[in-house]
Structure 1
Amino acid sequence: MKPEQILPYAKPWILIDDMQYEESAGWATSKKLVSSSDHYVRGHFPEQSIYPGVLLAEGMVQTIEAVLLHEKICMKLVEATSRFLRPAVPGDEVHFVVKICDRQADRWVCEGTGFVDEQQMIHSTMTFAK
């Protein structure tokens, strides 16, 4: 599934490059290739460019937003907590895995993890509600 065909944003604000959704299993995966040409990277710690952590968390949020829009469910992010374990740098391909842990008619609670080369770099818990 192509995020730009579902999400109501335009590049450069779509922060995932590709995604898959397995409805029966209750999880979605997406990826983001961090490039030195991403304008968020330039100037963010100029001595060592890194991809801003808040944008990593937003990539996981956009993954679930795409699932919600695909299923025609109207919910918005109401709460999120994230733990950053290591930075993403240009050249990294970040793989997000987001699991829907509690799925109710008016609320979803999701847990997401971001990996680079199988090394965990971010973990988030997100609540979406009507």
Structure 2
Amino acid sequence: MLTIKEIMEIIPHRYPFLLLDKVEELVPGKNVVAFKNVTMNEYFFQGHFPQEPVMPGVLIIEALAQAGAVALLSLDDYKGKIAYFGGINKARFKKKVVPGDVLKLEVEIIKIKGPAGIGKAIASVDGKKAVEAEIMFFVGES
């Protein structure tokens, strides 16, 4: 398991844009299982939507990308570098994510070729799929 401090040693994201709270499982370069505790204190709930707070889908995708970056940047070859979005395919939003939810973020790196690759990503709440997508990335210098 990785704590928030250990996560911040791997990826460059910081408040208010760090969307991971802990990593429960990690196989560098292969897969990761991370969690985000969604609270009413999140900055985005001020405007999305005040009457019915819903976590924006794009931020769930970002949380998945951050989890994938932890798996990728844990590899010796990529330590100290930055993972950038290369694209998003097959994104499907299946369930609202609201305050009080614990978002489980699972990413399997299915392809790496040089500095680029693809991850299969699933976000779920209480065992129910909220988002699934293929996320493409490339690794650059920090």
Shared fold, TM over 0.5: yes
User: Which moves more between the two structures, 52-61 or 41-50?
Assistant: 41-50
**What secondary structure, in the 3-state scheme, does the structure 2 residue paired with 1:41 have?**
helix
In structure 2, C-alpha distance between the alignment counterparts of 1:37 and 1:23, rounded to whole Å: 32
In structure 2, C-alpha distance between the alignment counterparts of 1:69 and 1:109, rounded to whole Å: 14
**Contact 1:97 1:112 (8 Å CA) reproduced:** yes
User: Which moves more between the two structures, 89-98 or 46-55?
Assistant: 46-55
**Contact 1:33 1:93 (8 Å CA) reproduced:** yes
What residue ranges of structure 2 are gaps of 5+ in the alignment?
A: none
Is the aligned partner of 1:38 residue 2:38?
Answer: no
**Contact 1:3 1:14 (8 Å CA) reproduced:** no
Number of aligned residues: 129
**What secondary structure, in the 3-state scheme, does the structure 2 residue paired with 1:45 have?**
coil
**Contact 1:31 1:94 (8 Å CA) reproduced:** yes
In structure 1, C-alpha distance between the alignment counterparts of 2:37 and 2:132, rounded to whole Å: 18
In structure 2, C-alpha distance between the alignment counterparts of 1:27 and 1:70, rounded to whole Å: 11
CA RMSD of aligned residues (A): 1.7
Residue of structure 2 equivalent to 1:23: 28
Query: What is the CA distance between 1:42 and its match in structure 2?
Result: 2.2
Residue of structure 1 equivalent to 2:118: 109
In structure 1, C-alpha distance between the alignment counterparts of 2:115 and 2:74, rounded to whole Å: 16
Is the aligned partner of 1:85 residue 2:94?
Answer: yes
For 1:58, which of 62, 67, 79 is the aligned residue? 62
In structure 1, C-alpha distance between the alignment counterparts of 2:57 and 2:18, rounded to whole Å: 15
In structure 1, C-alpha distance between the alignment counterparts of 2:133 and 2:8, rounded to whole Å: 23
Relative distance call for 1:7 and 1:23 in structure 2 (3 A) is closer
**Contact 2:104 2:123 (8 Å CA) reproduced:** yes
In structure 2, C-alpha distance between the alignment counterparts of 1:80 and 1:65, rounded to whole Å: 14
**Contact 2:31 2:71 (8 Å CA) reproduced:** no
Give aligned-pair identity as a percent. 23
| Greater share of residues in helix | 2
Is the aligned partner of 1:76 residue 2:73?
Answer: no
Which string of whole-angstrom CA distances, capped at 9 and with x for unpartnered residues, describes residues 9-50 of structure 1? 2111101111131238x2111110100011112221111111
